[in-house]
Structure formats: structure tokens, C-alpha cells
Amino acid sequence: MAKAFKYGIKGITGYLEPAERELLRSLIDDVISMLQPAESASEDPLTALIGLDMNVREPSDRALRRLLPNVTKNDDAASLEFRQLTERSLRENKIGALRAAALGLDTNELVLSPADARHWSQALNDVRLVLAERLDIRDDADAEHVHTMQDWSQAEDVESYLALVYNFTTWLQESLVQAMLQSMEPRG
Amino acid sequence: MTLSVALGPDTRESTQTGTVTSTDALTAPDIPWNLVIWNDPVNLMSYVSYVFQSYFGYSEPKANKLMMEVHKKGRSIVAHGSKEQVEQHAVAMHGFGLWATVEKAAGGGKDGGSGKGKGKRG
């Protein structure tokens, strides 16, 4: 069984079983492949250099739309324009955090630097956002319903399995964030 | 760490006069855009508070207050500034996985926004 993250002399530490690490790695890989742009970067070296992507559109997949949301509520043209300027670098930023977290999954004993912890918390959050879309979590009642699935012997279909995985990643992220908040405490 | 533009006029005023500032001071015409964070059932309350503390440099009580506002009212204005500034914050929030949008301050802010505290900031 995994142990909750905690903050101590060595920094933020945690423990995951090999099967749990494998699970996290495959979840992270899934999100990375979702985030990888369909087309390769712009042919024009200058637009590629500044990260412009004039072909980008609002994602049709709900989970991807949650990872890469519109920047305005009611102005699609402004959101699209912003997306053309920023989406590529946002995707790269997210993929970077996910890859950094995956790299840390090589050992059972986890010792996270402050930067590692930030990448882990971002990566776990993105994994949970995607799982939540797959589980159709739309409001707090849905979330509570999913939360009742805690016993792995209850896993009988894809949905209950996903719910258990979601609850595991939620628990892991919560313990990590608590440790991170603790590590921030003695600040001026 | 990026210092939020919301700290600007408010902090200056409170350090100079020691008075409690209102949201009116934060929605002055020269700072016409809001960064809005929306509630969703997935993001952990602790994580949202952590993001507000680590990214904006908000104190724990202020971060928790804004986080609870998001949770209970469905949205909260967590920073103000020029369009460019709040857009930069929004993309950072998207990086953290928070659901953020920008809006013109004049058209929004129906919920009273943030910054009704005692004017003492992290």
C-alpha cells in the first residue's frame, strides 16, 4: 500500500508500491498523449519559435477542453485568438510537468524537491481532471457518489475501476498538497 | 513568484493610511480587468488554496477565503489588472488546472469580488 506524502527533514517524501507506480505512469502517459498537438509545430520557423498556432481550435473532447479551457466565458472569438497565442505553450508546460512526475516514478521511495512537488501536484491534478470527465463528474453530488467507491473488491466494471483509480489519485494529491502547504508555513 | 496586481493599490493605501479598503478601490477605472476562478467538483480545496498562496503570494487566510468563495458562490474574482496581466494569470491558472477566465471589471464583479478583508496582505 502507498503511504501518504509527508513533510519532514528530507523534504516531501512518499512511498508507492510498484503496481501503483505502474498505474500512475500509464495514467500520466494517457494525459501526455492527449495533450500532444495533433499536428507538428508550425512549419514557419518564426511562428514556431514564438509558439503561435493559427490552426488551433477549441478542443471537441470534454476532458481536453477542461485541460485547455477558454479564457473568456462569452467571447469565442477572443478565446480563440488567445488560444492561438498561448495553447501550444500551455500544452508544453503541462506535458513538462507530467513528464517530470513520470521520471520520479522509478523508485518506491519518493523524495520530492519543491519543484518536483509542484510538478507532481500539477500532474496529479490533470490526471484527476481527465478521469473526472471520463466518470462524468459534473457536480459535488457526482463527486461524492464516486467518493463512496473505496473498496477494490467492489471493482466489477470499467466505471467502478475508474472510480477507485480516481479516489486513489485524489487521496495521493490531497496528501501531497497537505505536505506542500506544511513546507510553505515558515515563510515571511 | 508573481506578485498579484490586486495587491497594488490596496496595499499601498493600507500601508499609507492604515484604513480598511473596499472593493471600490480595486475596481478603479485604471485597472479594468478581473481574473475569475470558477468552481468545479474536481479540484481539491487544499490545492486551490495552495495555488493562490504560491502563485499570487496571498496569505493563508486570504487564499482560504477566496477558495471558499469559489466553492460556495461558484466563482470568485481573485486578481485585477490590465488585460495583459490578467491573461497572463489565467494561463498560469490553466497550467495549474484551475478553471480561470478574464472579464472586464465594469461588466462583472456582481458577486462583490475579493479584497473585502482588513487590507492586510501576505
Q: Is A24 helix (H, G, I), strand (E, B) or coil?
A: helix
Query: Is residue B64 domain-resident?
Result: yes
* DSSP 8-state assignment for residue B41: S
In-domain check, residue B45? yes
B42 vs A143: CB contact, 8 Å cut-off? yes
- Reported as a pLDDT band with limits 50, 70 and 90, residue A174 is very high
**pLDDT computed for residue A186 by the predictor:** 60
Ordered mean pLDDT values, 10 residues apiece, chain B (122 residues) = 33 40 51 92 97 97 97 96 96 98 73 40 38
Cell 478553471 identifies what position? B99
Nearest Cα to Cα of residue A24 among A124, A153, A132: A124
Minimal Cα distance from A72: which residue of B? B101
pLDDT mean across residues, chain A: 91
Q: Residue A5 is inside which H or E element, if any?
A: strand A3-8
- Do the Cβ atoms of A68 and B42 come within 8 Å? no
Which ipTM score applies to this complex? 0.92
Q: Is residue B122 part of a domain?
A: no
Rounded Cα distance between A149 and A162, Å, is 10
**Interface check B54 vs A, CB under 8 A:** yes
Residues of chain B with C-beta less than 8 angstroms from the C-beta of A66: 40, 99
pLDDT at position A64 is 96
Mean pLDDT on A109-129:
96
Establish if B14 touches chain A: CB-CB under 8 angstroms.
no
CA proximity to B118, closest of B19, B12, B39: B19
Chain A to chain B Cβ contacts (< 8 Å)? 78
Interface residue B42 vs chain A (CB under 8 A) = yes
Domain ranges, residue B11: 7-104
* CA contacts within 13 A on the Cβ side of B106: 5
Contact between B101 and A75 (Cβ < 8 Å): no
Look at residue A150 in the predicted model and tell me its pLDDT.
82
If one compares A82 and B13, the residue with the highest pLDDT of the two is: A82
Cβ–Cβ under 8 Å, residues A63 and A129: yes
Residues of B in contact with A186 (CB under 8 A): none
Span A138-148, average pLDDT = 91
Interacting residues of B24 by C-beta distance below 8 A, sequence separation 6+: none
- Residue with the bigger pLDDT between A175 and A187: it is A175
Which of A34, A67, A73 has the highest number of chain B CBs within 10 A, making it the mutation to test binding with B? A73
Quick check: B37 and B102 in contact, CB under 8 A?
no
Q: A42 falls in which pLDDT band (50, 70, 90)? A: low
Does pLDDT of A49 surpass 80? no
What is the CATH number for B23? 3.30.1390.10
Cell numbers for A99:
513528464
Number of domains chain B contains: 1
Q: How far apart are CA B4 and CA B78, in angstroms?
A: 9
pLDDT at A81: 94
Convert the pLDDT of each residue in A90-104 to its tens digit.
Answer: 999 999 999 999 999
d(CA B81, CA B87): 9
* Chain B: residue whose CA lies nearest to A166: B42
Domain assignment present for B61: yes
Question: Is B42 in Cβ contact with A132 (below 8 Å)?
Answer: yes
Counted residue by residue, chain B has a size of: 122
> What gap in Å lies between CA B48 and CA B75, rounded to an integer?
12
- Residue B4 · residue B118 · CB < 8 Å: no
Cβ pair B103:A72 closer than 8 A: yes
Nearest residue to A136 (alpha-carbon basis) of A159, A165, A167, A156:
A159
- CA B89, CA B75: separation in Å to the nearest integer? 16
Grid cell listed for B121: 496582505
Residues of A with CB under 8 A from a CB of B: 66-73, 82, 86, 89-90, 93-94, 97, 118, 121-122, 125-126, 128-129, 132, 137-140, 142-143, 170, 173-174, 177-178, 180-181, 184
Judge: A177–B44 Cβ closer than 8 Å, yes or no: yes
pLDDT at position B109 is: 44
